[in-house]
Amino acid sequence: METRVDKVAEKHKNGYNCAQAVACAYCDLVGIDEETMFRMTEGLGLGMGGMEGTCGAVTAACVIAGAKNSTVEMGGPGSKGATYKISKEIVRRFKEESGSVICKELKGVETGTPVKACPDCVKDAARILEEVVFTD
């Protein structure tokens, strides 16, 4: 698969929140139209709840991982364990590279020293998503 990191960056630059930028750049690969994905991930931007939660870009990478990996066995565990493992790896890699996955920590809200800007978060989350989920 050709990288979509630049596509993610462009979507973010054009007003998509961090989660929307990542999720919408890959939604066609998991059978979800962009308008639906845009709506579904709108509440995940700004670290869910005003920077209090996980970075939207990382959350969106996990959303795409689930959409790609799920076997849709609604009555049983099916692919859940494997998908959790993939999400854990996405989070681990992002945290290892950035020092955190919490939005306000990445933005340096309490310290006054940002660790990583949103444009870098979306690009890094997209790259990690590609490495973990979309490798051939």
* DSSP notation for 90-106: HHHHHHHHHS--BHHHH
Q: Scan for tokens 């049983």, then name that residue.
A: 76
pLDDT for position 82: 94
Mean pLDDT, residues 1-14 taken together = 95
The pLDDT tens digits for 39-95 are 999 999 888 878 889 999 999 999 999 999 998 887 878 889 999 999 999 999 999
Phi-psi domain of 119 (left: phi exceeds 0; alpha: psi -120 through 50; beta: other): alpha
First vs last C-alpha separation in the chain: 7
CA dihedral 86, 22, 46, 35 (to 10 degrees): -120
